[in-house]
Structure 1
Amino acid sequence: MTTEAKYLKVARILQKRIEDGVYKTQAPLPDQKTLADELQVSRLTVKKALDGLQRKGLVYKESGLGTFVLGPVPIQDKFDSPANAFSGLANLLGSDEVTSDIIEFNVEFPSEDIQHYLKLKSSDPVYNIRRLRRLEGKPLILEHTFMPVHLVPNLTEDILHNSIYNYLHHDLKLKFGVAYRKIKAAKADDWDQKYLKAKKDDPILELEQIVWLNNGQPVEYSTSRNRYDERNYVVLETNSF
């Protein structure tokens, strides 16, 4: 089992304990060493799991005191998605629940905008990927992604039907460093109407992002669009001072 899979598994275990009331609201969680020993993983794996739970709004950290259960957030919805997550849709919502329809999958030379976003030359080929992500068979997100071929070699349709991020992290051993994300409202375009079943005047929520590897190279420019009534983006902020 990979480190990535371990921290996701630990996060699911801890989340279930919180939901089942094993860990009470406002009470501290066991310290990282205790959890690591119990679950037979490293403290780094536990830390990554807790970081993910914090982004989801389930726990919060107090400097020098530990990690505490936040408890149910009254305005939280099951389709809320952390705006600062790196794990990808399949890992957030469950790989068994998320499927992908490939609408476009081409290798081409980048436009001027994509050259600028990904720091490429006009002769550097990129993948142009458009996918419809479904949750339990229902259209949820329309993704349009560009990635440099030289950084992400041998991308296949089989990978696109599953998780690109798992391929990057597990197979290519690439690590994300920074992501800049912009969330904005838009009107439904022809793609949204066709694939998201949006009406012509429906508002659309769009997340635009650039992701850099930990060596500073941009590896992804993408937009993710969903209907206004299908998904929200959330941020949990804590004041540890």
Structure 2
Amino acid sequence: MKKYQVIANQIRERILSGVYPPKTMIPDQKQFAEEFDVSMITVKKALDGLAREGLIYKKSGLGTFVLGKIPLGDAYDSPANAFDGLSAQQGADHVESVPLLFELAFPTPEIAEKLDCKTSEPIYDILRLRKLNDKPFILEHTYMPVRLVPDLTKKILTQSIYQYIHNDLKLVFGGAYRKIHASEPTELDQQYLGAGEHTPMLEVEQVVWLTNGENVEYSTSRNVFDQRSYTVIDVNDF
């Protein structure tokens, strides 16, 4: 576990246990850096993650405050701007990743456009069923350039691709464009997610790029409409 994740876990526990009550200010980055003996950049990364979860919010010139319980939240929800993946959000012990397809391929013109690569460049074509607490949860179809994510294996697919990218390849995501929309069920949704013929589905389509601007992933993640939502925390920081 990274240092910033350890720090985030400790601050999160303090918030949930009431050490830092709702609507109160928490220590500043410098104080946390001194307490945990880390850089302020590491502390900022930890706090940014907690902000994405909706636990804290920052007010320019004032400090960082505990937001408190959000009445719209659900344990299975995901921040719409998260970059840590399902295993990190729900806990690796609760998530099982089942590879349904894993092959090298050449992208179609449509996929090549999403990845900003040539149709002659090899990519991974990956389909995974993500289970949460032994129940089908998300059907994930992912395309990645082999050049950017070398040596990907089926064993890695059963764990966390994002952890492999961050921890082993030392690559950092620069950003993502995500489109969230409703959809009709496909045959795969019915087969693997237990959707009915007319069950509404929720799909997240995304392109993720690295800090150098190269597109590292194009993917779609689909779930039954009432299994998961995507949340946005919006703070009016005037």
1:75-94 equivalences under 5 Å are 75-94=72-91
The answer to whether the 8 A contact 1:140-1:230 is kept is yes
Counterpart selection for 2:154 from 150, 153, 157 = 157
1:104-143 equivalences under 5 Å are 104-143=101-140
Unaligned runs of 5+ in 1: none
Counterpart selection for 1:193 from 187, 190, 194 = 190
Between the aligned partners of 1:17 and 1:169, the Cα distance in structure 2 is 27
Is residue 8 from structure 1 mapped to residue 8 from structure 2 by the alignment?
no
Is residue 144 from structure 1 mapped to residue 141 from structure 2 by the alignment?
yes
* Aligned position for 2:203: 206
* Aligned position for 1:60: 57
Alpha-carbon distance, 1:240 to partner = 1.3
* Aligned position for 2:47: 50
Moved more, 86-95 or 200-209: 86-95
Is residue 166 from structure 1 mapped to residue 163 from structure 2 by the alignment?
yes
Classify the secondary structure of the residue corresponding to 2:31: helix
Q: Give 1:152's aligned amino acid.
A: V
* Aligned position for 1:71: 68
The answer to whether the 8 A contact 1:8-1:91 is kept is no
Q: Give 2:165's aligned amino acid.
A: L
Unaligned runs of 5+ in 2: none
Q: Give 2:230's aligned amino acid.
A: Y
Classify the secondary structure of the residue corresponding to 2:212: coil
For this pair of structures, how many residues does the alignment match? Answer: 238
* Aligned position for 1:28: 25
Q: Give 1:28's aligned amino acid.
A: M
* Aligned position for 1:216: 213
Counterpart selection for 1:230 from 220, 227, 230 = 227
Between the aligned partners of 1:236 and 1:74, the Cα distance in structure 2 is 12
Alpha-carbon distance, 1:161 to partner = 0.8
Classify the secondary structure of the residue corresponding to 1:96: helix
Alpha-carbon distance, 1:41 to partner = 2.5
When normalised by structure 2's length, the TM-score is 0.97
The answer to whether the 8 A contact 1:87-1:165 is kept is yes
Alpha-carbon distance, 1:98 to partner = 1.2
C-alpha deviations, 1:74-100, integer Å up to 9, x for none?
111111100001111111111221110
Q: Give 1:164's aligned amino acid.
A: I
Classify the secondary structure of the residue corresponding to 1:71: coil
Classify the secondary structure of the residue corresponding to 1:150: coil
* Aligned position for 2:94: 97
When normalised by structure 1's length, the TM-score is 0.96
* Aligned position for 2:173: 176
Is residue 38 from structure 1 mapped to residue 35 from structure 2 by the alignment?
yes
Q: Which runs of 4+ in 1 moved over 2 A?
A: 39-42
The answer to whether the 8 A contact 1:109-1:122 is kept is yes
Percent of pairs with identical residues: 55
